[in-house]
Amino acid sequence: MFNQNFILISLLVLFSFRGNAQNLQQVTSLSHNLMPVPSTLRFTAGRLSIAPSFTVAIKGHSDARLQAAIDRAMRRLEARTGLTFARGLSNDTASATLVIQCQGPGKSIPSVDEDETYSLEVSNSQAVLIVPTVIGVLRGLETFLQLLNGDKDGFFIPAVSIQDKPRFPWRGLMIDVSRHWQPMEVLKRNLDAMAAVKLNVLHLHLTEDQGFRIESKKYPELHQMGSDGQYFTQDQMREIIEYARMRGIRVVPEFDMPGHATSWLVSHPELGSQPGPYQIERRWGIFDPVLDPTNEAVYKLLDGFLGEMAALFPDAYIHIGGDENEGKHWNANPKIQAFIQAKGLKDNHGLQAYFNRRVLEILKKNGKKMIGWDEILHPDLPKDIVVQSWRGQQSLAEGAKKGYAGILSNGYYIDLIQPGWQHYLNDPIPENTTLTAEEQKLILGGEATMWSEWVSPDTIDSRIWPRTAAIAERFWSPRDVKDVDDMYRRLAAISVQLDGYGMLHEKTYGAMLRRLAGPLVSDENTVGTIKKFVDIIEPVKGYKRGTMQNATQFTPLTRLADAARPDSARARDFAKTIDAWLYSQDAFNKSRAVDLKNHFTDWQRTGGLIEGEIIKSSPLLTEALPLARDLYEISDIGRDAVEYLSSGVVATDEWKRTNLALLEKAAQPKAAVELVVIQPIRELVIAAAEQEKRKSMTATEWKKTIKEMAAPKKQ
């Protein structure tokens, strides 16, 4: 428990000074909500009151970006406190509530070697933020805002001493704006949220089989014919880049090539490896259209286009994608195969490396460095490229051993609906790494990837947040900050702050549920029942949804699987409740058994209402019928198990087998979602039949035994 350790340390410090009970009281109550957790932090006694007299003064360097950041922070502080502060900055550094001592501006273009260090000292009388650059101010102000607390005496920042800097310099979020178009406001609000959790790279996946999303003035046919009119103009992109720069965030553009390039070929079929014609792809998957690396016209267009993009995007890096080219169209083209022979390129992989070298020349000519997915790794490529690994830590580490810098994305695919703790415990440099210290420096960080097959502008926030805040902590905080319970406690608080800053992950949930209610929507009870139901449902994980729903780019994303969200907090709470009842010293407690049975009765009622009246009136929920029946049934099973356990009657093996089989069926995904409260009920059922064992076991042995017996079979 990282957080508790710190409190313990500060307690020891306190006792050595004062050692009285009042301070003990004061300091132990400080469980903070910081995310990411700073690299060092020590709470001290005291608090800085936040009142209408709140002012900020700057000592040392000042510039427009710094002042805008202070203004944004003050407006947020006003919104959260309801207080009105005087406009503008104070000139009085002695009396200002917050003093910022800044040495310099930071890079004019946000850079991977930016100094993001800050130190924040808060006492009863003042907060002082000391930073080498404006980037540090941006990071430190977010920490300051996260520290805001309140009680009956008003709002305050607890006295604290923080020295902080990131573990990794490349902390990104990739947004795929191509498969489903994501307009300006999606990027802007997500940049705000990224800044709040100290992410510093927005990677935009700008071209795909399904869409070409950036205006080219040299080749306007690319976006005109490849985007259904849904693309960023260059003016808009400059606005995004500036918005990001103001928040200390880089914008890295990706133009995926030579594969994933159908949308380019709609206007330029002559650049493809087969004659075409090509149309914007509407389905999901890996497709065969691919640029023809043997065609000099390809490089001519890339030279013009990438030159134009190099001027538009100020970042040092351009991402060329490079992933998932299966080479079928290359195999089917004798001219291309002859080219491979003639040039001694061995195979398609060699041809792609040839293509990459040619693209690299263009990038270098334009002063840019190359980044691409694992597939770009090839002995022929120089060492100054960066590899983004979708394959995993091992692939990344192998790259580092060969001298290639890299970032990790495997394990951070937030589109795959895994719970936050899995992403959180996934480390770009795991504890058991075999890399040398020198090699470890090549691991620059990581990126969460928001692929957009299954998200619309209405739902994308609910897939990105709050889980990406946990990933942001992984990239920023020390490796040993990994207490999952504490992460979830803080994540809940940060999630609501992000909601207050304009994210829609909470706000659209209600709207999605109301839509599911269909004609019953004005009945608040119905919407409440649907919420109870969807609260314990998650979309299916991994790539399963594509196998369950036959969807295209045109499919509306307004169904049950779109309303349901990853990482159900309700299911986590339920699992904890069952754990406490089943495995604590006074397990099977009778009075809490009553609560549990009521809980199951309520779920059963929910399932019954959905199955009955609600589905009858709301065709959008028809697909939920088997799930509603499952919920009805598993609630019954859970209540029976609790009854067995609390009354001390041992359930028969027959009863156990029957009900485990029913639970197994209920655990199967339906309608591209799954009920995520089955596992604790499975434990209840097994415990009901095995309860005699507990008499001869410690609580720990008992827990271990049941958990092992209940463990889901590997699929």
What's the rounded Cα separation, in Å, for the pair 475 and 470?
Answer: 9
443/534 with CB nearer a second copy: 534
CA dihedral 302, 303, 308, 310 (to 10 degrees): 100
Catalytic residue from among 121, 239, 324, 643 = 324
What's the rounded Cα separation, in Å, for the pair 223 and 207?
Answer: 10
152/714 with CB nearer a second copy: 152
Amino acid at 540: V
128/148 with CB nearer a second copy: 148
447/538 with CB nearer a second copy: 538
The SS3 call for residue 11 is: helix
Q: What's the start-to-end Cα distance of the chain, in Å?
A: 33
496/662 with CB nearer a second copy: 496
304/518 with CB nearer a second copy: 518
Handedness of CA 669, 673, 567, 609 (dihedral sign): negative
Q: Is 244 in contact with 191 (CB distance < 8 Å)?
A: yes
Closest alpha carbon to 396 in 373, 423, 424, 420: 373
> ∠ CA(362), CA(184), CA(554), 5° rounding?
90
Catalytic status, residue 375: no
Shortest Å, Cβ 56 to a second copy: 15
Residues at the interface with a second copy (CB under 8 A): 75, 78-84, 87, 149-155, 185, 489, 492-493, 495-496, 499-500, 504, 506-508, 510-511, 514-515, 518-519, 521-522, 551-552, 554-556, 558-559, 615-620, 622
Spell out the long-range contacts of 479-482 with Cβ–Cβ below 8 A and sequence spacing 24 or more.
479/167, 479/427, 479/429, 479/431, 480/2, 481/2, 481/36, 481/37, 482/2, 482/424, 482/425
Residue count of the chain = 715
211/321 with CB nearer a second copy: 211
- Distance from CA of residue 547 to its chain's centroid? 24
41/615 with CB nearer a second copy: 615
What's the rounded Cα separation, in Å, for the pair 356 and 377?
Answer: 10
Q: Is 685 in contact with 660 (CB distance < 8 Å)?
A: yes
| Residue in the block written with tokens 């009105």 | 84
Q: Is 634 in contact with 677 (CB distance < 8 Å)?
A: yes
Handedness of CA 643, 648, 651, 656 (dihedral sign): positive
SS3 labels along 216-248 = CCCCHHHHHHHCCCCCECHHHHHHHHHHHHHCC
Shortest Å, Cβ 149 to a second copy: 6
Shortest Å, Cβ 58 to a second copy: 21
What's the rounded Cα separation, in Å, for the pair 572 and 577?
Answer: 9
Question: Which are the catalytic amino acids?
Answer: 324
